[in-house]
């Protein structure tokens, strides 16, 4: 399975919708930062589970297997670009933030590791979508990437 590259605008847009809901503090299903200190995460990384989903763990596992199958592969993303994987009910997006000065580079191993934990075990396995970022303020332009599983 090849990954596809798309612009992040719509993904960011939908997330900013959630951010707006959070600001007004009136909407149910607000995102909650589940943990910023999970042992598997690098220090500056944070993840958040949000919404609710019936995404199947085995579909997501299929994406992980595909990514691991070419472990030497690296993903280089310029500002506002996403790599996208789709399998059944599961969608994974690795998106570069809009104002980065250098491309985001991630290895296949890095991706597979973080999709599995915290995003699958912390969010999808509990019926929620998840996003990982290299900045604690996930709803901001800070940091260099966002990794979404939905
Ligand atoms: C998940 O599945 C249940 C049962 O089929 C359904 O009621 C619910 O609306 C679904 N939730 C989402 C977020 O799709
Ligand atoms: C991907 O990056 C790793 C670590 O930076 C490097 O060792 C490897 O050779 C790269 N793979 C390719 C195909 O460029
Ligand atoms: C990412 O990889 C590209 C192409 O190999 C390189 O030009 C760029 O400097 C790298 N960026 C970082 C942050 O390592």
- Rounded Cα distance between 23 and 30, Å, is 10
CA-nearest residue for atom 3, ligand 1, is 54
Q: Which atom of ligand 3 is nearest to the CA of 104?
A: 13
Burial of 68 (0-12, 13-18, 19+ CB in 10 A): middle
Domain-by-domain residue ranges, the chain? 1-19+30-100
Least Cα distance to 75 among 87, 86, 64, 67 occurs for: 67
Q: pLDDT tier at 13 (50, 70, 90 boundaries)?
A: very low
Write the DSSP assignment of 25-51 as a string of letters. Answer: T--SS--EEEES--TTS-TT-EEEEES
Question: Strand 46-50 to strand 4-7: parallel, antiparallel, or no bridges (unpaired)?
Answer: unpaired
What pTM value is reported for the model? 0.76
Cα end-to-end distance, the chain, whole Å: 18
How many angstroms does the Cα of residue 76 sit away from the middle of ligand 3? 7
Ligand lying nearest the CA atom of residue 50? 1
* 31 or 42, higher pLDDT: 42
* 76 or 12, higher pLDDT: 76
């Amino acid at each position: 399975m090849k990954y596809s590259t798309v612009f992040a605008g719509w993904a960011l847009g939908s997330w900013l919708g959630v951010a707006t809901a959070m600001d007004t503090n009136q909407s149910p299903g607000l995102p909650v930062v589940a943990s910023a200190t999970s042992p598997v995460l690098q220090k500056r990384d944070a993840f958040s589970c949000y919404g609710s989903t019936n995404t199947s763990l085995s579909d997501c596992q299929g994406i992980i297997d595909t990514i691991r199958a070419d472990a030497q592969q690296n993903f280089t993303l310029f500002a506002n670009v996403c790599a996208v994987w789709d399998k059944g009910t599961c969608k994974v997006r690795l998106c570069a933030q809009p104002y980065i000065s250098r491309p985001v580079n991630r290895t296949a191993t890095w991706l597979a590791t973080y999709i599995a934990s915290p995003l699958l075990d912390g969010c999808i396995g509990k019926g929620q979508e998840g996003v990982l970022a290299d900045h604690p303020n996930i709803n901001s332009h800070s940091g260099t990437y966002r990794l979404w599983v939905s």
